[in-house]
Structure 1
Amino acid sequence: MTGTETNGAEAAPPNYTLCDLWTEFCQTTAIHGFNKISTPTCRFTFRGILWTLAVCGATGFLIFNLMSEIGDYYSYPIATKVTNKIRNTIEFPAVTICNRCTLNKTRLASFPDLESYFRDSSLQQRSSGVYNFDDIDDGIMLQPLSLDWWTNMSMDASSLFHLCYFGGESIDCSSNFLPVFTDEGLCHTFNFNASDIVNVKNSGNGANLIINYNIAQQYYTFRENMAAGIKVLLHNSRHHPDANPTVVMAAPGFSTYVAMHKSEYVYLPDPYMAFDEMDCVDTNSPDFVNPLKYYSPYTYDHCFMECIQTKVFNLCGCVGPSDPRSTGPDVPICSLEKQDTCYSISIREMGKNTTFEEECKCSTQCTFETFSAQVSSSGYPADIWAELLNNSTQSESSEYFRNNYLELRVFYDKMMVTSTKQHPQYTQATLFSNVGGQMGLCLGASILTVAEIWELLVFIFLYFVDKLRGRKARNRINNW
């Protein structure tokens, strides 16, 4: 008995083959159908062949679906959500007021040829022509100008703004409307680049900004624009007035109501295509550095404006009054001659040149806001108020008042903001969820099943290692 046990203990372990490894894997794995494929002798049977075909078909279908899922994930699809949000407070935009004639005729009188120049030059511009400077003797037209000169030749805010109200309270017009040069000339802006941006807590035509304005037509001179009234620009308080504002016109003799609505946009940065085939710049990223030299913050409009102004400066050797470089000591402001023959022409041509726009390589920022406006108006003033207002403004007559004075009300129609926000349609969680569903549907598999397959591959590798080293392969599935 003892000898028999000794002989059994010294017997060599059975030879372990790939067939044994495969059979044990098929019998222990959680993948559906594998336990019906293999037999202990690894011989093919009709039933095994059918199950092999079924498993291969399900595996092929799974691979096809997985490739589709992964392709969808790396195409970075976007879902857009639009919501209306009620706010307790809303940031009020900057409101820029530009008289349709920013120059003052009486101040130009010290330069005898200027009025006729502005008349003839304006007519030439309307016919796409260029004023002829050959017979000009007045040096003011040929010499570089300065911001002080343009300021002195422009309308003064103290003579334009009569009364100003904000939030139902009277405010000082001169200190709250700051001078700023735009493409229109010298304008005046409320709530622009202020250290404390104004917010409103109420909506309605009497709750926000109200101004009484005198366009002073008696001081008008000839300009390309032939209208009388004011141009109102609504824009972000931190952006230059020329940077894609909402534009409203108001005429004298009318009370103009501008009911605003604010919209906020948040788009996804690279690798997502925020605008179909174009991506956007994430200016809120901690790694973002503003590439612009003269405008801040970065916006598409600031970028395009700087690109045009830089190109025109290189062509003409001078800048316009609205160019930020005009405040520098070493950059000349164009003379009237240079402005007509080079600067203004170049600005107009580049502004409508789509090829040049592509050369600037400006991208839209991912986060921005817009202001839409619904405008209505009524006659101003009512007859019953005419005499009283004439006396308070010391107007020459009721006719003068109606030809020069206007009322402007800028307000939010509701304490509501429309938010448009992009979200990734596929996240990693969505991808794993979809992949898991496909694996469960096709093979009844899961992430742990994938681990089983990797384990099988490791065991096969170790099997061949044992063979190459001249050892008998070991049964690791049951022994590990």
Structure 2
Amino acid sequence: MDKAHALTKYTRLAGRYGVCVKKPSEVKAYYYDGMYTTDGCLRSCYQDMIFKTCGCMDPRYPVAPNTSTCELVQRPCIDDAVEQTGDPSGWESCVCPLPCANQQYSVEWHRTKSVSMPTQCEHLSSSSQHTCTELAEDNVLVTINLPRLEYQIFEETPDMDVNRFISNLGGLLGVLMGVCILSFIEVAVLLFRLIVIMCSSK
């Protein structure tokens, strides 16, 4: 059995470019340890709903400090609350943006048969060979390797910042209007000659 990993990283823009969360403290409730995740936020919303409805929190997920967990006799209350409210991702009161930075690993498994007939079983009699083969098939060889270090990085970047906008605007005006230093000189010469003509005609 072979096992291979691949790492994918995501970086998102906040502020005027979009909404994302950098720290768990930025959301209404978060009861998980470690970095912020959208799933952790949704389950924290779920725990708040269970606490509001049943007076306790679901023991299957992390709970808020100094909060009791539901006993087995309160399981019908949890089931009824889940059936009435549905999935937390559809609640207006549960706002769980994507994290500004996160990563995930994808795992691939490959399972193959090592050998059809072990060499130590080939020269035995039929009955002994069958027993030997069964014992060999019970053995498992697990190989965990990284055939190549593979990264995928998805990063949000501004499509156009202020400097690029000014640069593009200047280039566009230059193309459309033909504005350059020679044009200004030609306009100045034209005005000067018009003034000279008007003065000489008087």
1:435 aligns with 2:169: yes
Asked whether the 8 Å contact 1:308–1:350 carries over to 2, the reply is no
> RMSD of the TM alignment (CA)?
3.7
- The aligned amino acid for 1:261 is A
Asked whether the 8 Å contact 2:46–2:88 carries over to 1, the reply is no
Matches within 5 A, 1:108-257: 255=1, 257=2
1:352 aligns with 2:87: yes
Q: Which residue of 1 aligns with 2:12?
A: 267
**Partner of residue 321 from structure 1, selected from 59, 72, 89:** 59
* 2:44 partner SS: helix
**Partner of residue 20 from structure 2, selected from 261, 266, 281:** 281
Asked whether the 8 Å contact 2:8–2:105 carries over to 1, the reply is yes
TM-score by length of 1: 0.29
Asked whether the 8 Å contact 1:316–1:338 carries over to 2, the reply is yes
* 1:311 partner SS: helix
* 2:15 partner SS: coil
**Partner of residue 150 from structure 2, selected from 401, 416, 420:** 416
Q: Which residue of 1 aligns with 2:31?
A: 294
Within 2, Cα distance between the matches of 1:282 and 1:425? 21
- The aligned amino acid for 1:315 is T
Q: Which residue of 2 aligns with 1:376?
A: 110
**Change in 2 beyond 3 A, CA 1:434/1:367:** same
Q: Which residue of 2 aligns with 1:343?
A: 78
**Change in 2 beyond 3 A, CA 1:313/1:366:** same
Within 2, Cα distance between the matches of 1:351 and 1:411? 41
The structure that has the greater radius of gyration is: 1
- The aligned amino acid for 1:309 is Q
**Change in 2 beyond 3 A, CA 1:437/1:369:** same
What fraction of aligned residue pairs are identical, expressed as a percent? 21
Within 1, Cα distance between the matches of 2:56 and 2:152? 42
**Change in 2 beyond 3 A, CA 1:342/1:376:** farther
Within 1, Cα distance between the matches of 2:35 and 2:19? 15
Within 1, Cα distance between the matches of 2:72 and 2:115? 40
Q: Which residue of 2 aligns with 1:333?
A: 69
* 1:423 partner SS: coil
C-alpha offsets along residues 24-69 of structure 1, whole Å, 9 cap, x if unaligned? xxxxxxxxxxxxxxxxxxxxxxxxxxxxxxxxxxxxxxxxxxxxxx
Query: Aligned-pair distance for 1:337?
Result: 2.6
Within 2, Cα distance between the matches of 1:289 and 1:318? 22
Query: Aligned-pair distance for 1:307?
Result: 0.4
- The aligned amino acid for 1:322 is R
- The aligned amino acid for 2:42 is F
**Change in 2 beyond 3 A, CA 1:262/1:442:** same
Query: Aligned-pair distance for 1:366?
Result: 2.1
Within 2, Cα distance between the matches of 1:305 and 1:410? 33
Query: Aligned-pair distance for 1:383?
Result: 8.0
> Larger relative CO (CA 8 A, sep 6+): 1 or 2?
2
Asked whether the 8 Å contact 1:260–1:412 carries over to 2, the reply is yes
TM-score by length of 2: 0.62
Query: Aligned-pair distance for 1:438?
Result: 2.2
Asked whether the 8 Å contact 1:290–1:298 carries over to 2, the reply is no
Asked whether the 8 Å contact 1:308–1:351 carries over to 2, the reply is no
Structure 1: give runs of 5+ residues left out of the alignment: 1-254, 273-278, 385-397, 450-480
Q: Which residue of 1 aligns with 2:122?
A: none
C-alpha offsets along residues 285-331 of structure 1, whole Å, 9 cap, x if unaligned? xxx943334234222111111001111122122223333227x5x43
- The aligned amino acid for 2:43 is M
**Partner of residue 361 from structure 1, selected from 71, 91, 95:** 95
Within 2, Cα distance between the matches of 1:367 and 1:322? 27
Within 1, Cα distance between the matches of 2:176 and 2:7? 50
The structure that is strand-richer by fraction is: 1
Asked whether the 8 Å contact 1:290–1:297 carries over to 2, the reply is no
C-alpha offsets along residues 373-418 of structure 1, whole Å, 9 cap, x if unaligned? 222224699986xxxxxxxxxxxxx89x95xx97765554421211
* 1:308 partner SS: helix
Within 1, Cα distance between the matches of 2:171 and 2:38? 43
**Change in 2 beyond 3 A, CA 1:317/1:267:** same
Within 1, Cα distance between the matches of 2:49 and 2:158? 39
**Change in 2 beyond 3 A, CA 1:324/1:282:** closer
C-alpha offsets along residues 203-257 of structure 1, whole Å, 9 cap, x if unaligned? xxxxxxxxxxxxxxxxxxxxxxxxxxxxxxxxxxxxxxxxxxxxxxxxxxxx4x3
Structure 2: give runs of 5+ residues left out of the alignment: 119-133, 184-202
**Change in 2 beyond 3 A, CA 1:421/1:354:** closer
* 1:369 partner SS: strand
